[in-house]
Amino acid sequence: MKTLLALLLVPLAAPGQAPAPSIAAPWDIDKIIADFSAAASRIQPVLDQLTPQQWVQNGAPAAYVAQWQSARQEMDYLANSAQAFAGQPGRLTRALDAYFRWEALQARLNTLLEGVRKYQNPAIGDLLVSLLSQNASNHDQLRQYITDLASQKEEESAILDQEAQRCRGILNRQTGPAPKNPPAKPPLKHSEDKP
């Protein structure tokens, strides 16, 4: 039974259709996750150097303080998400969470870049851009992994659905169709009804 189920889960291509791409091997995705996390963690010390409270004293909008705090929170969320993803790399939800956390961190940092360059130090802004670009390759590989994993999950689901439909058909043929209108039962005669 386990062998049959394992065979059913092997993605098959429909006639005339190319087979779905295979997902990265566990050791490959582990390396991508580790590189992704390491590149993201190099951003933390730079974030810690930023002083948006001083920027505000120099005429910067106060919104930079909130953006900086938000970026620091997003950094923590990303670290937790990447750790959870590393523990369960086959879970699509874990992969998506890590990917979207990186996207959110990147967006937060991009909103801070102008303030960093204008109110603190242009070199620190350039360093942030450089650190963000270091993760571009990992970001692309993670996106491809998510696409491949989603495709595989869709195919597995379709195969399981087809097999369930086939099994239902077999069971229905074995038990026969249910009668549409059961025959009417004659009324019961009671001994008191005798003429």
Residue 78: count of CB within 10 angstroms of its CB: 25
Is 11 within 8 Å of 159 (Cβ atoms)? yes
> Is residue 188 one of the residues assigned to a domain?
no
Alpha helices (H) in the chain, listed in sequence order = 2-9, 26-41, 43-49, 52-57, 63-87, 92-115, 122-134, 136-175
Measure CA 55 to chain center. Answer: 37
> Is residue 170 one of the residues assigned to a domain?
yes
> Is residue 182 one of the residues assigned to a domain?
no
> Is residue 60 one of the residues assigned to a domain?
yes
Tokens standing for residue 16? 């005339």
Residue-number span of the structural domain to which 115 is assigned? 25-175
Total residue count of the chain as it appears in this document: 195
Torsion angles phi and psi, residue 176, rounded to 5: 80, 160
Q: What's 158's domain CATH number? A: 1.20.120
> Is residue 106 one of the residues assigned to a domain?
yes
> Is residue 71 one of the residues assigned to a domain?
yes
Is 94 within 8 Å of 85 (Cβ atoms)? yes
- Count of the separate structural domains present in the chain: 1
- The pLDDT tens digits for 3-60 are 333 433 444 444 444 444 577 776 678 888 888 788 888 999 999 999 999 999 999 9
- The pLDDT tens digits for 85-130 are 989 988 889 999 999 999 999 999 999 999 999 999 999 999 999 9
> Is residue 18 one of the residues assigned to a domain?
no
> Is residue 1 one of the residues assigned to a domain?
no
Residue 111 identity (one-letter amino acid): T
Residue 158: count of CB within 10 angstroms of its CB: 13
